[in-house]
Every structure is written in C-alpha cells, then in structure tokens.
Structure 1
Amino acid sequence: MAKGAIIVGAGPVGLMLAGELRLGGADVVVFEKLPAPSGESRGVGFTRRAAEVFDQRGLLERFGDVEWAQGHFGGVRIDFSKLDDNHFSVRGIPQFRTEEILESWLKELGVEVRREHEVLGFRETGDGVTVEYRGPDGPGEESAQYLVGCDGARSIVRRLAGIDFPGWEPTRGMYMADVVGANVRQRPIGERVPGGMVMAFNLENGVDRIVIHNEALRPPEDKSGLTFATIADAWQEMTGESLHHAEVRWVSSFTDTTRQAAEYRRGRVFLAGDATHIHMPAGAQGMSVGVQDAANLGWKLAAAINGRAPEGLLDTFQSERHPVGELLMRNTRAQTKLYLSGEEMEPLRAVLQELVQDPAVARHLAGQVSGLDVRYDMGAGSHPQLGLRLRPDIRLKLADGSPATVRDLLKPARGVLLVTSAAADADGLRATAAPWADRVDVTAADWAEGGADRPDAPAALLVRPDGYVAWVQPDDAPLRAALERWFGAA
C-alpha cells in the first residue's frame, strides 16, 4: 500500500512536518540523502512563534533551559519588555540540536527516517506520486499520495516539479565560522566597524559563532575553497583581534540572495521551508518560518490523506503561507540594507531608533520578526482574536476545577472547541460540534487569572490544530460553517 506522504529532507522543517502528519493519523516516511546528520548549524535559535509551535506539541520542554533573547530590527534594538505580548525569541540553540530533538520525537511516533535515500525523479499519477530514488541498496521506487520537498534552497523536488524560484541576485556576502578557544568579545546582535559589521556569540559548550560582513565581500557560490585562515584574516583586519589560534569546527559563507517559490503546491507536490524561500539570515526567521509552514500544512495534508479534507483545504497552504513568505522576503531585505549598508544609512537608523520608542511601531516590527503578527483569513467574523494564534501558555480552569493550559489542549494536534461558562447556548455549541468528535475536541473551561475580565475575551472559540482561531463567540458567524470549512463534512 502506498504511503500517505513522502517528505524529502530531514532538516527541522521536514522532521516537524513528519511529526504533524503522524499526529494527524497519516502514514509518512522521510527521505534524506545524507548518511548521517551533518552536525552543522546554520540556524542557532528560533523566533517566538516557532517556540510556540514546538510548545503546543510538548516539544519546547525538551530543549531544557533556554535563553530568551531581546530583539532588534536590522540592528535597531526593540525593547520587547514594553510590549503587551511576549515576542522574546530563543537564542543559542544549534540547528543540529533541534534536529536531534525532532528526530527523537519521530522515533516515539513511529516515523521512519531513511538516510542515504537521494531522490532522482518522480512521476505523478491520478491518485499519487511515485518517487525514484537511489538508496544504500541501489535504485528503487516508492509511491505515496503526496510528495513534499523540504530539501532546502537547492530543492530537487522544486526543480523536478518545474516550479519557478524568482527573486533578487546577491549584492553582498558574509563569512561565518564556529570556533573554540577564540576568547573573543561577545557581540550578540553585531557591531558596526569601519568597512562593515562583525558578530560573535556563544552557541554552547564553549563554541563561538563568528560572522563577518565586509562591504567589499562577495563570497563565491562554490564554498569548497573557503579556509578558516581567510576568515581569521578578515576578522583581524576589521577588529584588530586575532582568531588564528582558535580551533575551527566549521566554516561557511552566504550572500543576500533572496528568492521565493512561485508556487507552494503543484498538484500532489508541495514545498515547505527553505525550498520555498531563501534570504540573508535575520533573527532566526528562515528556519522558524519553515517550522510554521510545517505546522500549517501537516494537519491539512493528514486530513486529505485520511479522506476528510473539505474542498479547497489544501489550497489554503498556498493562500496562507505564500503571503507570509513575501513579508519575510521584504523584511529581511529591509533589515539587510538597514544593518549592513555604510554610513550613508546612519540617519535612517537614527530615525528608526526614535520611532521604535512608540509601542505601536515597536509592536509592528517585533511582530514581523517574531511571527506573532500572522493573521489568516477565517471568513465571516470581526472579533480581534479571529485569525490570530492562541497563545499556548494561556492558563485555563477546567469545568472540574483543575488547572490546564491551551498547550494541553493542542498537544494531540486536533481541532479544539473551547466553551467557557460565559458562552451563549453552550449546550447548543457542544451539540453542533458533536458530529466532528473524531476531529475536534470539545472542552469546557474558563480563562484563568482574570482573562475573562478583558472586554474582548472570547466566550467560546474554535481553534485549528495549528493553533489559529477559526471561529469566535461573540460573532455572528455560525459555528457549523467554520467546522465544515476547516474540518470537512460532519
């Protein structure tokens, strides 16, 4: 029997998507061409919304004690402590550690990750996709209902599907190295120096990450010739500090090339993560947006695999996530120009530093970086919470008096209808949702810690498996219509 889905790529996005699909009851396998994890870490943390996505599946606690980081926009500091929502991101988590945690989770869920499986091609049929691959035992084929490329900027799935990847060519570049014993002064959000910018921060276990931008630097596409000596020379030239004595773990370079896939879906083929967008690193947004892609797609694709998806549900992956990718491209390009341009940008930096003292401006820029400003179109309704995420750390008091959090309700990756004691016709709401009991959990609970005293506190709300609010009372929109739109026929 064909698999429900084949995911190509065992990075954080592919692993997260596999877990989401499995929680949704779908049979899934992950193909990865590398024989073992690379141990490299392009990403070294994640944004607030990505942290919440991990949290609502009970994964954030597996990272142990994490460092919550203050934020900036293109080097302009934003005081998150003055905002009415928690935008603090997680800093210093190497990508390989995120992958280890997610792969361990997949083992618990019974998801197979097949390493040394390189995709060579695929052909789409009326009811599925057959993938041609080369594995440890030679060439082979595997069929599935759907194929998802989570295989990075040079995605083979995107190329084979013929999906365009338009964007902007590189204009500047950076060197990067992970070193031990450098004894370098920490510069966690970077420091402007004559000729460019330098950054240094601790990853873990005494490993420092060094990042260098020189205004004249144009790293080549082929990184095979890059040496640590070149990076250490550039660091010394720009800072006067020597790194030559340090032990090097990894070196790389990157540019500000910016591209976005024209389509996130073509037939039975989907793209997610860096297969859909590449850009200059800025605030751990790339991997974080990819993790959110996975959370958005996973429950929808699982519903389609199980034959429960309403018409048009899979198309909402494109309509909801492509605009998020567009905003990601815009804000990272803006941050790159703001942060890495020369002294001619100093007046604009000064003006922006004044503007972010206004809480509305700070909230807007912080929301773009943290991912908390994402709002999806949920149709009829005007409640302020509609289309936004529901914070997983919100505390609740269940009907029997016991405490809970939104996290507890979302962990199974099912829909949730939360009905408070203030709801109008609570019995009627529960009766309306009853035919969807195999997909939607109904919970009676009240907001703890005075949450119900807020004038916009929902009396009842329907939450999708990805944590976004799809229906709210008080609003005139019917609950049944929202259930049918997102969870299919009763």
Structure 2
Amino acid sequence: MTGTTGPTGNSGTTCGTTGTTGITRTATPASRVLVVGSGPTGLLLAGDLAGAGVPVTVVEKRPHGISNLSRAFVLHARTLEQLDARGLADGLESVGQPLDRLRLFGRLTVDLSTLPSRYRHLLVLPQYEVEKALERRAVEAGAEFRYETELTGLTQDADGVTVEAAGPRGRAETLRAAYVVGADGMRSAVRQAVGLPFPGRSVIRSVVLADVRLAEQSPSLLTVNAAGDAFAFLAPFGDGYHRVIGWHRGRDVPDGEPLDLAEIKEITRLALGRDFGMHDARWMSRFHSDERQAPAYRAGRVFLAGDAAHVHTPAGGQGMNTGLQDAANLSWKLAAVATGHADPALLDTYQAERHPVGRAVLRSSGGIVRLAMAKRPWTLAARGALTAFLGAVGPARRKAAGRLTGIGHRYPAPRGAHPLTGARVPDVDLAGGGRLYEALRGGRFVLITPQPHEAGAGRGDRLAVARWASGRRTTVLVRPDGYAAWAADSADAGGIEAALARHLGPAAPAGCAPGDLR
C-alpha cells in the first residue's frame, strides 16, 4: 500500500462537527498539529490542515510581517497545479511573469509550451507573493499563528509531542500536539531536536543574488549560462525588476562579506556577456549553496518538509517547489489520520514517496551547476554532447522538462496495481463543464467514472464523484494531491466500494452527516 489510506478500524457511530471550509470533518484538540516555520511549505500545510478541520498552530521565530529575504523566485508547472487545487494559481498568475522557455548553457532552449499541463510555463515571482496568498488562506481557514516564538526543545511519547518554546520577550512556553512538522529551513531546530543528521556538503560558496532594474533590453526568458570562472542566472519578474543569481569561482568569501552592485555586474558580464545596465537593486544577498538531505523525513510523530529535509543548489529553481509538493503530499495524510479516517501507518508513505523525489532534485540541480561550470576539456565535451543530445532527441528533452517542472515525478505503486496507480493525474475535463483540479478543492479525493455512480454516499466530506467529459472507460480514484490512488479499466460497484473503503475508510453510518464518523 503506497500513498493511500488503509483500514481505519473505526466502527463507532459518534458524530462530529463542521470545519471552517463548510466540509464536515472530525478532529479534536488532541489531534492538533504544530507546524514550525511560516515559509511557503509551512503555510501550505497549515492551510490544508485547518481547512480539513484539524487544529493547527504555526510557530515562527520571526515577527509577523517580516519576510525572509528569499532566494526563491520560480513556480513550476506541478506546483501551479497544486496551487490550482487550492484556488490560488489564478491570482498568482496575475502578478507573476510566465515564461515558456529556458535557455541553458548558451545554446540549449528548453521549450515548456508542450508540457502536458494547464500550466505550460514557469512563473517568475518573488516568494513573498506566494507566502501572502498562502498565509491569507491559512488564516481564513482558522490556523493559529504564534510569531516571535522559537522552538527550544521537543520530547515525544506514545500520545503526542511536547514542545518547549521561547515566546515574545523570551517567555517560556509549553505546547502540546499530536504531530509536529518541521518546515523551519536548512538550520531546522526541529531536525536538530529529534537528532536527525543532515549529511552533505557545501557545493559552491559566495553565491550572489539581487533584484535589479535593467537599462538595456534583456532576454525575455530565464537564462542560465557560464563562461570561464563565472556563472549566472537572469530572469524577469514582470514588474520592471529582474532576479540575477551569480557566482565566480575566484571570489570564494564568507556569507557576511559586504556585497555591492559592482560585483554582481562584473559576474553577470563575465557569464552572460554584458550586465544590461543594472541599477537600483532593491535587495542584495550573499549565501553559500549546500547539497544535503536528511536520511529520514520522519522521526516518530515528527516530520520534516522543505528545506528542513533537503537543500540543493538554486539551479532550475526547484527549492520552493519541492517544499510545496512535500507539503501537498503530507497534509492530506495528516488530516486523514487526525480525523480518524486513516490508520497512522499511512504516514509512513510520506518518506517512501517524497524522499526519492528530494534525492532526484539534488541530482538534477547539482548536475545543472556542474555542467554550467565545466572547465576541463572532458567535462566541456560532456556538456556539449548532452546539450546536442537533448536538443536533437525529443523524448529525452521532454523527460528532462518533466523532471525539472515536477510533472514527471510519480510515486511507487503496489505490485500488480493498475499502471496509473501512483501517477500524476492531469487536469482533465469532467462532465458538466468542470475540471479535476477544481473538484480537488476542499482536500477531497475525486472518483472519476465512465458512468454515473452513487459511490459518494456517506463520504461526502472526503470524496467527490465525477464523470469523464470524454468517452474514457477507466475508473480512477484521485488522491487530494492529484495522484492516482487506485484505477481499474473495468470496475463494478463492489470493486469501487472495496477501493473506497481501503483508501478513505468506512462510510458514515445512517443518521450521521458525512464525515461525522469517529
């Protein structure tokens, strides 16, 4: 069983309450989840859990309104699909800059306009725009926020987790939760508190970043190139500013070394041939880039997500995206367990599904940097051969684009399962004029059938039932994160009910509103 709910073992008939989304859910204060960190990963988790009626508290050491000076600036297609399933993608698209091509190594253009997605592009926008949208959603759903509060210790027992924290003005606080999620970045206090290692190494030091205005015409797409000892990214935000990321092999200095615009311009000139008349930097930063991954994303009742679980080079803009996809995978599983609709064993699938993806992202982002910085004759030859191969072989180029954008990842499936099981389900049209990712809003599973079916009885809080707009004959049960939990080319009512019981738990007894079972 991979990425799906198992038998819950629930047989009671107690009825519960209605959550903030209008969907009836069941959760108790003892099922509270504590999320540490209010970056995009933590905010998406908090919004999903609160929307499912699960009590959730977000702990953040920064004051409210003080955003990280973040390096993230790209949303890829798979992340946009996940945000669409939460009703947020259209708003972000309206303030971001869509780019349907990337230029790598000076001559390889990756065309995203043929992606099998509603979002045939990447979206360039500052991370704070993503955070604003996700925070607003979490607050509206009822998530509790505790700013200026820093985790100082953590202990677990059979029933939950006790967290020690220092609140405003150093006031000691003790918080209790059923589960804790560390979404608190590379230097995660949660990861350190549970003793999980973070093996890896610093790959490049003294990476420089800035958001600048340009006096000259710039490329209209995200550009990545290297020349000699210099390496640079350049991407337009669409608001008159461009994000520039650069590195010079000979400028290996500590993160705290002063940085000025002249250094950024020099690196850009060396890597891209000119600096485009950069001026009016709204912020600049220097950092070092690590490649690290925790060997486990779970330690008992504690989970890691985003940069707390994995960090890698900024090449390809995959960092924020991978964290948001971690959150989308974990949130519905925590909600199902907290509301009593799933066996806690479901939570083990988070590691099985997301750890391999994190490892793949480390490889791909690191590979881009190493190829860009190739200097020896044999590495230059390898880069040229790979560039020529990807430029000439369509399937290889499409596979690379799928991995970069996240839509190419799939999760392992049980032996003998239908080939769709574990695969990402695209945003298909549904009968009646709707589409799948609209039906996923609300955190429910979606059962897509060829013919009308009454399978939703007693599970209205957890399941939407729809029909294909096309003549497709396959029956597919889509998880809340948009992956296929189960599929069959021909399924009768008994087979569908068995699948629903296995993945969603039992239907509510007669006399209880859907979702009231606990």
| Short-chain TM bin | 0.7 to 0.9
Matched to 1:6, the amino acid is L
User: Equivalences for 1:328-343 in 2 at 5 Å?
Assistant: 328-342=361-375
Query: In 1, Cα distance between the equivalents of 2:203 and 2:387?
Result: 27
- Residue of structure 2 equivalent to 1:195: 229
- Residue of structure 1 equivalent to 2:135: 103
**Structure 1 204/113 Cα, relative in aligned 2: closer, same or farther at 3 Å?**
farther
- Residue of structure 2 equivalent to 1:127: 159
Q: CA deviation at 1:211?
A: 1.9
- Residue of structure 2 equivalent to 1:439: 462
- Residue of structure 2 equivalent to 1:164: 197
Matched to 2:464, the amino acid is D
The one of 54, 62, 78 equivalent to 1:49 is 78
3-state secondary structure, aligned to 1:210: strand
Query: In 1, Cα distance between the equivalents of 2:249 and 2:473?
Result: 51
The one of 35, 41, 46 equivalent to 1:13 is 41
User: Equivalences for 1:41-440 in 2 at 5 Å?
Assistant: 41-65=70-94, 66-72=96-102, 75=105, 76-82=108-114, 88-136=120-168, 138-171=171-204, 173-180=206-213, 183=216, 185-186=218-219, 188-220=222-254, 222-223=255-256, 225-235=258-268, 246-342=279-375, 344=377, 345-356=379-390, 357-379=392-414, 381-392=416-427, 394-398=428-432, 403-421=433-451, 430-431=454-455, 434-440=457-463
Query: In 1, Cα distance between the equivalents of 2:288 and 2:103?
Result: 19
- Residue of structure 2 equivalent to 1:483: 500
**Structure 1 238/331 Cα, relative in aligned 2: closer, same or farther at 3 Å?**
closer
Deviation sequence 1:310-353 (CA, Å, 0-9, x none): 25200000111111111111111211111222263332233223
Q: CA deviation at 1:46?
A: 1.0
How many aligned residue pairs are there? 469
Query: In 2, Cα distance between the equivalents of 1:434 and 1:117?
Result: 44
Matched to 1:469, the amino acid is A
Tell me if the contact between 2:474 and 2:490 (Cα under 8 Å) persists in the aligned partners: no
Query: In 2, Cα distance between the equivalents of 1:27 and 1:338?
Result: 46
Query: In 2, Cα distance between the equivalents of 1:464 and 1:389?
Result: 10
Q: Percent identity?
A: 36
Moved more, 118-127 or 141-150: 118-127
Gaps of 5+ in 2: 1-28, 508-518
Moved more, 238-247 or 297-306: 238-247
Deviation sequence 1:36-68 (CA, Å, 0-9, x none): 332623111211100000001111012143433
Query: In 2, Cα distance between the equivalents of 1:69 and 1:238?
Result: 21
3-state secondary structure, aligned to 2:32: strand
Deviation sequence 1:382-424 (CA, Å, 0-9, x none): 54432112223x22223xxxx1111221001111112222xxx
Q: CA deviation at 1:111?
A: 1.6
**Structure 1 179/101 Cα, relative in aligned 2: closer, same or farther at 3 Å?**
same
Query: In 1, Cα distance between the equivalents of 2:327 and 2:266?
Result: 40
- Residue of structure 1 equivalent to 2:485: 470
Matched to 1:196, the amino acid is A
Matched to 1:483, the amino acid is L
Matched to 2:385, the amino acid is V
Q: CA deviation at 1:74?
A: 5.6
Query: In 2, Cα distance between the equivalents of 1:18 and 1:249?
Result: 30
Tell me if the contact between 1:264 and 1:322 (Cα under 8 Å) persists in the aligned partners: yes
Query: In 1, Cα distance between the equivalents of 2:344 and 2:178?
Result: 17
Q: CA deviation at 1:191?
A: 3.2
TM-score when normalising by structure 2: 0.83
Tell me if the contact between 1:33 and 1:117 (Cα under 8 Å) persists in the aligned partners: yes
Query: In 2, Cα distance between the equivalents of 1:139 and 1:14?
Result: 23
3-state secondary structure, aligned to 1:41: coil
Query: In 2, Cα distance between the equivalents of 1:88 and 1:319?
Result: 29
3-state secondary structure, aligned to 2:146: strand
Gaps of 5+ in 1: none
**Structure 1 99/334 Cα, relative in aligned 2: closer, same or farther at 3 Å?**
same
Query: In 1, Cα distance between the equivalents of 2:261 and 2:270?
Result: 14
